[in-house]
Amino acid sequence: MGVGAALLSATGQPTPKVMARLAELGLPDLAARLAVHALPVVLVVSAVLLGRALGKGRSKTVRWIIYALLGGVVGFFTGYTIDILVGLPAFIQAVNGPLAAPSVTDIALWAIGAMFIVLGLMMAALAVFGSPAAHAIELEPDDDPEAMDIRKAERGIFGLSSAGAFATGIASIALAIAQQSGDGATLGPSIIALVAGAASVFASIILWNLMDELQRRQVVNAYAVSAVILTAGAFVWSIAEVQGLVPPFSASATFVVITLAQTIAVFIITTAAAGNARVKKRRAA
Amino acid sequence: MKNQLRVLRAQRAWSQADLAEKLKVSRQTINAIETGRYDPSLPLAFTIAGLFELSIEAIFSPEDAEAGH
């Protein structure tokens, strides 16, 4: 996340309004620019360090409450600082033409795209740097050095996962841009979305072939759980739609909900399994 | 299921990653089997038994085996 914030910070430009506000506070131009660019990175890195320090020696519930609180505060301020560094939308509008105001679905597509790109960055770090990156990324690094050991074969899988996550992120953002583009300007982003989507599916198929039986079982379990939740959700939405309580669901909104549900299910099932392993190891010790 | 995987691995001074490479599975799978979080498939259990030159029963046993059930 620190790297992601650094990239956004480096590619963005503070708005004149923000710079004027900082000048009013008495900050020289260079110092103000440095502060605005450094803030997202400083926030993310300090939140991780603070979370680790405050959570040390506390129960799992208290630790995760601390992480959630810090994550909420930092997420808000990082979002705010990224919002004032509006470099990316300006660049897209220069290349693609003017964009309409985003709908709720568009905002969700942008958010999912950003989330997958950050995930891709994290997995790329694991692929390139191995164990040191695992220690840096994990909020709760395992005491057992073996558990944090990442060998060459695993780095390959992380590399491929990273490519898949990047492709999914680009596909989501390109779909949002296509939806926000005016008549005649939707073809370019649609083609990018299709190519990135195809790359994402291709990476998923290769990954599935590289997975062992436990990894495949975790994916199957996660998808089964998300399928039950999504089916129930679709059923309830259908009834609400008939009653005129909610609007009809678009295909892109369906893509957002399915992607989000599957990602959350995979995350919960894999992290819960890792947590169980640590508890059992401590009990055995 | 209980298993002797950690003991057998330690006797040979293999790390989890070493054993994972020999069995062509991920290190997380070895960790999950050792901690009793995951019961391997029958083909993987046979591969493990073959690697250690033991029978499957010598490595894996039901949780309630000591209770005489």
**Taking CB atoms and an 8 Å limit, are B15 and A147 in contact across chains?**
no
A158-183 confidence digits (pLDDT tens): 889 999 999 999 999 999 999 888 77
From chain B, pick out residues whose CB is under 8 angstroms from the CB of A130.
Answer: none
- The tokens for A217 are 């079982």
Mean pLDDT, residues A36-48: 73
**Taking CB atoms and an 8 Å limit, are A146 and B32 in contact across chains?**
no
Q: Please indicate, yes or no, if residue B69 is contained in any of the structural domains.
A: no
> Residue A281 pLDDT more than 90?
no
Could you give the CA distance from residue A267 to residue A115 in angstroms, rounded to a whole number? 13
Residue of A nearest to B27 (CA): A147
Range of the domain at B31: 2-58
Q: Please indicate, yes or no, if residue B64 is contained in any of the structural domains.
A: no
Could you give the CA distance from residue A132 to residue A149 in angstroms, rounded to a whole number? 9
Q: Please indicate, yes or no, if residue B14 is contained in any of the structural domains.
A: yes
At A147, which helix (H) or strand (E)? Answer: none
Phi, psi of A52 (to 5 degrees): -65, -45
Mean per-residue pLDDT over chain A, rounded: 79
pLDDT at B54: 94
Helix, strand, or coil (residue A207): helix
Mean pLDDT, residues A125-149: 68
Mean pLDDT, residues A87-114: 80
Q: How many domains does chain B have?
A: 1
pLDDT at A6: 58
B35 contact A CB<8A? yes
Question: Dihedral of the CA atoms A258, A259, A263, A269 (nearest 10)?
Answer: 20
> Residue A219 pLDDT more than 70?
yes
pLDDT at B69: 47
Could you give the CA distance from residue A131 to residue A138 in angstroms, rounded to a whole number? 10
pLDDT at A233: 94
CATH number at residue B31: 1.10.260.40
Q: Please indicate, yes or no, if residue B47 is contained in any of the structural domains.
A: yes
Give the type of residue at A102: P
B10 contact A CB<8A? no
pLDDT at A148: 60
Contact, A54 vs A66, CB < 8 A? yes
Contact, A116 vs A264, CB < 8 A? no
Question: Dihedral of the CA atoms A109, A110, A112, A114 (nearest 10)?
Answer: 160
Mean pLDDT, residues A229-244: 94
Window from A57-61, A262-266, B32-36, B45-49 with minimum mean pLDDT: A57-61
Could you give the CA distance from residue A198 to residue A170 in angstroms, rounded to a whole number? 11
pLDDT at A138: 64
Highest mean pLDDT: which range of A30-44, A129-143, A169-183: A169-183
A218 contact B CB<8A? no
Could you give the CA distance from residue A174 to residue A160 in angstroms, rounded to a whole number? 21
Predicted model pTM: 0.71
Mean pLDDT, residues A276-281: 52
Helix, strand, or coil (residue A143): coil
From chain B, pick out residues whose CB is under 8 angstroms from the CB of A274.
Answer: 28
Could you give the CA distance from residue A108 to residue A249 in angstroms, rounded to a whole number? 14
Cα-trace Rg, chain A: 21
